[in-house]
Amino acid sequence: MRVAEYVHHDAVGLAKLVADGEVTAAELRTAALEAARAVNPRINAIVETWPADGGPGPAGAPLAGVPFLIKDIGAAMAGRRTELGSRLAAGNVARADSALMRRVRRAGLVTFGRTATSEMAYSITTEPVLYGATRNPWDPERSAGGSSGGAGAAVAAGVVPLAHGTDAAGSLRVPAAYNGLFGLKPTRGRVSLGPDFDELFSGLAVAGGVSRTVRDSAALLDQVSGPEPGDPYFAQQPSRPYAEEVTRDPGRLRIGVLAQAWGGRRTTAPVADALSRTVALLESLGHRVEEAEAGLGVGWEEYVLANARLFTANLAATVDELAAAFGRPVDSSTLEPATLAGYHYGQRVGGAQLVAALAVRNRVSRSLARSFGTYDILLTPTVPELPVPLGAYAEGARTLDGLGWIGTVFDRAPFTMPFNMAGTPAMSVPLAADAETGLPIGMQFAAGHGLESRLFRLAGQLEQASPWSGRVPAIWAGDRTGR
């Protein structure tokens, strides 16, 4: 299969071609590698590729033969490096498949490489010292988002139709918004993090993917969701496959809109205009849309402080473990300024402070749950501004402590993190583009605990009403020059 044809199929479509005998898994992998060679020198999304990992899985697997990429954190693949985007973990090789990786294999996905992440997934831009900055295919001078920025850029540029990612504060949804993709953060407990972890970042982090079509994300979640023995959280399994929900009528939904973020960060004019157009689209589809009142249950400063304690205490434990495993120092030779500042801050977080931070998590969860008693869906911009220039997050980072860095990240992306705290599903949908620059703009839709089905039904309706698959970035594998 030629790359020019390959890039116009989504994962479900490619799997059907394989099942019908029209193309082989080997031919698809060849096309994916050719696509990567065409665009990756321009976007730096993929840090490593490798030979085929054993073929397209069991006969009849739902996504058999579809090329796939895993993030450099959050999905351990036996015998392959997972370096967390950090010099501290450079050369780290996984000894066994994680539960998620086993499910990826059973789905038939052919994993042939790993994508870039910010160091320790500790930023919403992907500019690690270890491998360099990942560039946005729509404008290579801008960020691809983070921490799943490599996944976002690779999918947007046509290397693969969908890719693995993780999300602890918006790390799937921000890259989806920046790169013009669909990205859904599942409910806490929907996808197992076992066996090596019961939870990550005190339950804030989940695994998922980004894709160019809604049905691809639904198909992926169908294959990777479900508990493993010993999991601390459990999300009730849906009554029918998510793939079936995409084509079902969502009904008339009551949708609450938050145009401005909880912390006071003002939504910029291009994003506010995109939100207004999204509201008009929803109303034309018969939904009841109104301005929402959805409090966090705590003040913004208390909210940021609690998150800083949760993130940095977890970070400090991870850093200490890696430093001991590799016999490396914890200093500027192994960690970036923001990560190192977070490490030192986390070392000072006491047990009582960590428990208090978990209590804040509970208050946010309860408060947002009450909002979902009023609204079927909450709508916000995914981020309040267009994709930022590369280097924007580095400005002043060397002078910040761990609390200051978290405050900066949350100021840039204030809409996404509350749903990680609450553990509820949320998705970024690429419904708009900036008229002046052509840059994509994502809209975030969130639902109550365990209600991914509701989100997929709405997303499928929106995709039909306002298709986005025809929009491709400036750096696109369908153009063999990678222009």
Task: Report the catalytic residues.
Answer: 71, 147, 171
Nearest residue to 196 (alpha-carbon basis) of 164, 163, 228, 234: 228
Nearest residue to 111 (alpha-carbon basis) of 172, 50, 156, 44: 50
Nearest residue to 104 (alpha-carbon basis) of 94, 112, 95: 112
The answer to whether 190 touches 177, Cβ cutoff 8 Å, is: no
CB count in 10 Å sphere of residue 190: 26
Encoded amino acid at 322, one letter: L
Task: Supply 137's token pair.
Answer: 């295919």
Query: In which residue are the tokens 């990756």 written?
Result: 40
CA–CA gap between residue 76 and residue 81 (Å, rounded): 8
Nearest residue to 303 (alpha-carbon basis) of 384, 357, 351, 248: 357
Edge-to-edge strand ranges of the sheet holding 110-115: 46-49, 110-115, 67-71
Edge-to-edge strand ranges of the sheet holding 377-381: 162-167, 206-211, 182-185, 426-433, 440-446, 377-381, 254-257, 288-291
The answer to whether 317 touches 200, Cβ cutoff 8 Å, is: no
